[in-house]
Structure 1
Amino acid sequence: MTVSDVIIQDKEKINWQDICLDDTNRNLLNQLIKEYNYVEELRKYNLPVNNKIMLEGSSGCGKTTTAKAIATVLNKPLYVLDLSTVISARIGETSTHLKLVFDKAAKDRAVLFLDEFDHLGKMRGKDDKDVGEMRRLVNTIIQLIDYFPDKALLIAATNHLEVIDIALKRRFQLTLSYQMPGPVELDGYYNKLLQHFPEHLREVPRKYDVSYAEAKDYLFTELKAIIIHELEQKQLAEV
């Protein structure tokens, strides 16, 4: 198995202003971006940039989008690794694959996005042998994180921060929490999505108590249904 078999290079560009963040998270990430802009000056004071970030919280609330936006604004390639697909029963092989991925990200000065990071914790508890093997894998990842250079950026995402090994969590300088959006946040998101559409399409009924991802899927499905209906009516009128 090669590196290209386990990671995906995500080339989607996300504008920094298009990500949905609360004030706390936006301030933390703005500081992060500024650190990279002034990295050489900070090194004169022996101050390292924060390059290990944990994103935790509900699915569909912006963790992956945040990673894409960071890669875009820093002009770095984004490599995505889903840990649930790379962790196998053969822990030794998993460690080798992870080392290849970390080495490539470091060499390319990339943003490495580790999705489903909690999968490490969920693999525990079957029997003593499994616990021992998982502990060795955790130790391997700890070493990879410790030696990950600050010219690259590591972002881990999880829906279940509580199951992750404490020693692993301590390696991340920043932890950002993502919550389900309320009506005000969703209205702002709907307005942003609808601003590029004609006025008559902006009156779509809105759905609440959903994540940003669910809201986007719902809205686009409704818009497509309206547009297709209008096209069909126009075709019938022309017959």
Structure 2
Amino acid sequence: MAILPNLILKSRDTSLIELKDIHFSEKNKNLLKQLLKEFKYINTFREYELPVDNKILLFGYTGCGKTTTAKAIAHKLGKEILILNLGEIVSSKLGETAKNITSIFRKASRENSVLFLDEFDYLGKTRDYETKDSGEMKRIVNTLIQQIDQLPNETLLIAATNHSSIIDTALLRRFQLRLKFEKPSKNDLDIYYDSLLLKFPEKYRNFERSYSISYAEARDITFRNIKNRIIEEEEAKELKAV
């Protein structure tokens, strides 16, 4: 069965952020440490027929690093990552979506890779049997549950969603680890702003900081302000040269 063209195989990512450089709550840090140690000693666990926790749900506020975290975990484990946006694989052909999901899981299992399912809520919505599409959605959710249950110990599944409350509870139960990503506090954002500004000259570091936003938004604001300062300097040089 052919793999969908929108399944992206990432072996090297120049934009990768190391796991140690991502801002996590203490609870999330501890869960990730445990995960990494379990995969490190997976062969020893196998001797005692102990499974590793290889199914993780990343959920919560948008723009707080769920995709970045998935990539960083794969890099730390030395595994390739298969990234799939579930909102992009739904087919109008009856039964085609379930076949696509099966194909993708089989590829991840063969390669012992990290399978990252973004927008997990798109196919994991609570089943509503009153709608005309309920039969197809039921097949898709059941296929997803079956593939998750059959996932080999060495393959890591990471699912991400901004809307965990609408996901079918039968799917949620499959995830041993659940990492909640919350909107950062003022102190968290100040630490993040400072970390971003370290590599820039002092003269670019002064600007009005915004709060009650995500890390992604803070990053965009920081870089936009620095670029504007550079543009002002370059335009001033051009005026002097005239």
2:68 — aligned with what?
A: 65
Shift of 1:129: 3.9
Deviations 1:11-53 (A, max 9, x none): 3232111111000001100110011111111222211111100
| Separation in structure 1 between the aligned mates of residue 175 and residue 63 of structure 2, nearest angstrom | 22
1:24 — aligned with what?
A: 27
Shift of 1:2: 3.7
Label 1:90 to 1:196 Cα distance change in 2 as closer, same or farther (>3 A): same
Deviant stretches of 4+, over 6 Å: none
Label 1:121 to 1:99 Cα distance change in 2 as closer, same or farther (>3 A): closer
1:146 — aligned with what?
A: 149
Out of 159, 182, 185, the residue aligned to residue 182 of structure 1 is 185
Report which stretch shifted further, 119-128 or 146-155.
Answer: 119-128
Report which stretch shifted further, 205-214 or 118-127.
Answer: 118-127
Matched, 1:206 2:209: yes
1:187 is matched by which residue type in structure 2?
A: D
Report which stretch shifted further, 207-216 or 89-98.
Answer: 89-98
Shift of 1:4: 4.5
Label 1:134 to 1:217 Cα distance change in 2 as closer, same or farther (>3 A): same
| Separation in structure 2 between the aligned mates of residue 110 and residue 91 of structure 1, nearest angstrom | 29
Report which stretch shifted further, 133-142 or 21-30.
Answer: 133-142
Report which stretch shifted further, 185-194 or 87-96.
Answer: 87-96
1:238 — aligned with what?
A: 241
| Separation in structure 2 between the aligned mates of residue 45 and residue 143 of structure 1, nearest angstrom | 25
Matched, 1:229 2:200: no
Give 1:24-103 correspondences, 5 Å limit: 24-103=27-106
Give 1:164-179 correspondences, 5 Å limit: 164-179=167-182
2:157 is matched by which residue type in structure 1?
A: L
2:113 — aligned with what?
A: 110
Shift of 1:173: 0.7
Preserved CA contact (<8 Å) 2:64 2:215: yes
2:190 is matched by which residue type in structure 1?
A: D
Deviations 1:108-127 (A, max 9, x none): 22111101111124485484
Deviations 1:138-193 (A, max 9, x none): 11111110111121110001111111111111111111111001111101111111
Q: How many residues align?
A: 239
| Separation in structure 2 between the aligned mates of residue 101 and residue 225 of structure 1, nearest angstrom | 44
Matched, 1:161 2:148: no
| Separation in structure 2 between the aligned mates of residue 141 and residue 172 of structure 1, nearest angstrom | 13
Preserved CA contact (<8 Å) 1:54 1:175: yes
Listed as ranges, the gaps of 5+ residues in structure 1 are none
- Per the normalisation by structure 1, the TM-score is 0.94
- What is the root-mean-square deviation of aligned Cα atoms in Å? 1.7
Label 1:128 to 1:233 Cα distance change in 2 as closer, same or farther (>3 A): closer
Label 1:126 to 1:40 Cα distance change in 2 as closer, same or farther (>3 A): closer
Label 1:77 to 1:140 Cα distance change in 2 as closer, same or farther (>3 A): same
Once the two structures are aligned, what percentage of the paired residues are identical?
Answer: 50
- Per the normalisation by structure 2, the TM-score is 0.93
